[in-house]
Each structure stands twice: as C-alpha cells, then as structure tokens.
Amino acid sequence: MEFLQQFGDVASSMIAGLCIVLLDRSMRRRMLDWIVGALATWLAVWIVKVSLGRPRPKIVFESPKAGFDGAVQFTPPWGTYPLPRTDGAGVVGYLERHAWEFWSGISSDLWSMPSSHTSAAAALAVGLGTMYGKLRPLMWSLVVVVGVSRVLTGSHFPSDVVLGAGLGYCVATLSMGGRWGQRLFSRATRG
C-alpha cells in the first residue's frame, strides 16, 4: 500500500514536471505557480503540524500513558506529550517532548495533523488540474486514494487527511489563481 501514498511526493511531482517541460512548453510558466504553491503548502502544513502537535494513531493506541489514550489529543507548542519508548528489556517508558523538537529523536510522532502526503497530493491535483482540466477527475481520485491509504496504514486519523487535503487545495488554488510563481520570477528577474 506504500506506493499508493506517493502521488504528490517529490519524485512523482518531479516526474510530472519533467513531462510538462518536455512535452508542453506552453505550461512552463504555469509550472512556476505550481512549484511555489507546493512549497507554500509544505510550509503551511509544517507550521500547523508543529503548532497542533497531534500524536499519530500508533502513538495514541499502542502504548499510551494513562490519560493520553484518546483520539483527540493535541499538544500546543508550549506543552509536551509523553511519547512511549521501549527499552532493551521491553519496558515501556515515556519521553516528554514538544512537537517542534524534531532533533530529539521523535521522528514525526507528533505530526499527525494535517497529513502532509494528502496536502501534497491535493497541491499536485490543483496544479495539474488547473493546467490540464481533463485530468481533474483522475487527480482528485488519486488524492482520495492517498488519503484513504494514510488512514488504513495507521499513519493518520481521518480528520488529519481532510485537513491536509483542504490545506493543500486552498494554498495551491491561491498560488495558481494568483500566479504566485510567475510574479515571484518576474520580480526576481527584473534586476
């Protein structure tokens, strides 16, 4: 099921971009809007993830600390969450961590909401759907596949996926509609 989650990731986006560059010169400038939209989506998602600090389902349901076993758990930037860790003897201990402490070995345990995979898929769907309208149904079908697979693999709660898709859609729509990439490129090359 892992391969189903890759629509919208860097590799699939690069392949789509390369196809556009090689096959449709008329869309090269629109690609700038899509790229800026994808980067803006990534930044927005990361800020929300770190601000909300929602633990992933595996953290909440596998070995939660008493009182931290509900699906609606959030850790604001000033708070910590007890992340379960098993030592060599099989004893579960808890590390109190902030969601923004990415350097302290928490991986993405507190970054469940929103789903970055789903937001990236939605941003790609908006970009390609804007450039090639006939692809919209296929693109949005793939966004649904990504979101459902993220839930089925236990990586996200359904609400994480919905927020991710919504955030990706909104940011990418603003970027494509406002021609953010073209405007940025224009300003940068004016000298």
Question: What 3-state class would DSSP assign to 52?
Answer: helix
> Average pLDDT of 80-91?
82
The pLDDT, as a whole number, for residue 130 is: 95
Query: Can you say how many angstroms the Cα of residue 125 is from the centroid of all Cα atoms in its chain?
Result: 13
The two tokens of residue 21 are 């560059």
Q: What is the C-alpha to C-alpha distance for residues 172 and 126, in angstroms, rounded to an integer? A: 6
Amino acid at 45: V
User: 108 vs 46, 90, 95, 160, 178, CA distance in Å?
Assistant: 11, 22, 14, 14, 32
The 10s digit of each residue's pLDDT in 119-174 is: 999 999 999 999 999 999 999 999 999 999 999 988 899 999 999 999 999 999 99
Q: In this structure, is the dihedral angle defined by the CA atoms of residues 110, 111, 113 and 117, taken in order, positive or negative?
A: negative
pTM: 0.86
The pLDDT assigned to 189 comes to 86
Residue 85: burial class (beta carbons within 10 Å; 0-12, 13-18, 19+): middle
Stretch 107-112: mean pLDDT, rounded? 84
Give me the pLDDT at residue 105, please: 66
* Model confidence pLDDT, tens digit, residues 46-68: 999 999 989 889 888 877 677 66
3-class DSSP state for residue 29?
A: helix
Cis peptide before 114 (omega within 30 of 0): yes
Calpha distance 55→109 (Å, rounded):
6
In this prediction, residue 72 carries a pLDDT of 78
